[in-house]
Amino acid sequence: MSKPLQEHRYMSGLDGLRAFAVIAVVLYHLNIDWAPGGLLGVGIFFVLSGYLITDILASQWERHQRFDLIDFWMRRARRLLPAMFAMVILVVLWCLVVDHSRLPALVGDVPAALLYVSNWWFIFHKVSYFESFGPASPLGHLWSLAVEEQFYLIWPLLLALGLKFLPKRINLAGWILSLAAISALLMAVLYEPGSDPSRVYYGTDTRIFALLIGASLAIVWPSAKLKARVSNQARTVLDVVGVGTLFLLGWMIWHTNEYQPFLYRGGMVLIAIITALLIAVLAHPASRLAIVLGCKPLRWLGKRSYGLYLWHFPVITLSTSQVSTTEPSIIKSMIQVGVSLLLAELSWRYVEQPIRHQGFRSLRLRYRLQHMTSRGWLHGAVIVVVFVLASTAISHLITTDKEETAVAQNAVNQAQVITPAPKNVSSHSATTDPTPNESSKSGMSTDQPTADPEATTEHSPESKQPTTETSKTGTEEKKSTSTHQEPAKTPEVDTISGKGISAIGDSVMLDVAPYLSEAMPGIVIDGKIGRQLTEASGVVQQLSRNGQLGHKVILELGTNGSFTKEQLDDLLADLKSDSVKKIIVVNTRVPRPWESMVNQALSDAAAEDSRITIIDWYSASAGQDSYFAPDGVHLNPSGARAYAALVVKALK
């Protein structure tokens, strides 16, 4: 029986590329502002996997004119399944003991993960990867492993047919690229600008082009045929191409984000091609860049990149509070990364490597004890001590988050007793299941008090005085705040006429609607759960036809996702009628990656249009956890009243 994996040349530079990719993904999931495109790291992994798997299979075919499919699939299973099973088991046990709120989601997520169909499970259950409120599933990241495993099952069969009937490698590569083009075209066709891109992000059909681009590279650039002896000119070309492509990948991770239409209409294909060029350089034995990226630290991280990918997401999600209006803690992020690295090392040392080389018998305690050296015992003792310390640290983070949430909820309960909803306002509150845009990554429903999908209210208010200051600059200047602080006093709201004022928003607007109606009798409010900014133009046109579009318009949008400058400009163009004299735009506080993008776009628009006044809700709500419901997005009565006070003050 052939042993292709053992005969395959080790390419240390590719471990460095793995390290680069997993760092990008971890930074993205930590919600680091300067790596909004960190999700592109998954695409890098896809191209890399397509190249390596096809390179192995093609070299085996060249030697034996056949594949040993059973051997291939068993090796893949021994490499991937044990570490994933261990992670899933420990996550389930953790949730059983510590965090029961995530258990309902795991009922579906665990079987989907074990069967490697997580991506289709999330698609069919409309679970967003980006626009999710409520507890995130700690297994939400396994969608990408599902895509790869599905590729591993099907691709060897298709490749065997291709190698048999298309012996010329250039022709075979052309057919593979044709399949990749179909997948990329499908992504572009299915993508809808301004909507949640999760369907095209998850789908095997819309993501397989990256794996196929890597596969086509392996057909025309087999690692076994690359020679170390090349001319100085060729070596220089390799290094220039390698450095250039690495720089481009870093630039795109720094400057792109998940809501840019460019990504889904050719951008991800471009990234896959750039990655393939970089892999071609790093796979070449004459590459000096491969030596740099193959340095010991990056090689160490690259070898453990699979374990780090498995563990970082559950560590981050299980130790992060849903309600947090303070800036991300660098210390907390460092602890999360440290615990993830420790778990990745444990997985590598005691699960992945033993099973990969000795098979499943290595898990037997008697076998491990018989083969344990004194150095191994020392390593084990050190790891146990470090693991206990790290577990204590992460448990402290979770306990702190729970205490903060409890303090916030206690303040909310007090606010609900002291400042009940206005008595003379018709009921706007209802327990409403979230739409897909506001559902959790885990598929869980988070019941939140919200208003009816649309509301037009006219009521007599009680006169009150606002107390919260409003910044009209709209700049995205994040302020550090104390983690523990006294609950803010619920602001009182002045009363002004609402005649000639229209408000358009999403579910946050519905939370505020009773208080706006109380403070501004005659105001027209149009709110809808899950509304995106791209839907607002239709609302403006409808209000205009009905004669309800006021000369002052309040816009509260961006809770459910980002938008492009062009989409915002189109909405503002619809409001450029002579009747609209003033536009009040409220920026957003939403613990999601698009928060800063939305606020910056609104700030830029205000700088270009003199009619626009920005209400800086982001700054006004900083440190005020008591304003928010458990999802960290929707408003409790105290938050809704504070929000309304800012709006009224801006209109006075």
Structure tokens at 213: 């681009």
Catalytic, out of 216, 312, 634, 638:
634
Query: Is 437 found in the same domain as 365?
Result: no
**421 in a structural domain:** no
Q: What is the pTM of this model?
A: 0.75
Structural domain boundaries enclosing 324: 24-371
Q: What's the pLDDT score for residue 257?
A: 85
Which residues of the chain are under the pLDDT cut of 50?
1-6, 365, 402-487
Pick from 324, 353, 371: which residue ends a domain?
371
**381 in a structural domain:** no
Catalytic, out of 507, 517, 562, 626:
507
In sign, the C-alpha dihedral spanning 192, 193, 198, 203 is positive
Sequence-distant (≥ 6) Cβ neighbours of residue 580 within 8 angstroms: 549, 550, 551, 552, 553, 611
Q: Is 284 a catalytic residue?
A: no
Contact 617, 587 (CB under 8 A): yes
Contact 555, 536 (CB under 8 A): yes
CATH code (residue 513): 3.40.50.1110
Q: What's the pLDDT score for residue 65?
A: 86
Catalytic, out of 511, 616, 625, 631:
631
Query: Is 623 found in the same domain as 504?
Result: yes
Query: Is 462 found in the same domain as 602?
Result: yes
User: How many domains is the chain built from?
Assistant: 2
Q: What's the pLDDT score for residue 54?
A: 97
**44 in a structural domain:** yes
Query: Is 439 found in the same domain as 361?
Result: no
Q: Is 312 a catalytic residue?
A: no
Q: CA-CA distances (angstroms) from residue 401 to 30, 31, 330?
A: 16, 17, 15
Q: Is 578 a catalytic residue?
A: no
**Which among 89, 21, 44 is positioned nearest to 351, based on CA atoms?**
89
Give me the DSSP letters along 497-538. Answer: --TTEEEEESHHHHHHHHHHHHHSTT-EEEE-TT--GGGHHH
Q: Parallel, antiparallel, or unpaired for β 524-527 and 455-456? A: antiparallel
Q: Looking at the DSSP assignment, which residues form a beta bridge with residue 635?
A: 628
**547 in a structural domain:** yes
**514 in a structural domain:** yes
Pick from 371, 392, 413: which residue ends a domain?
371
Pick from 371, 386, 407: which residue ends a domain?
371
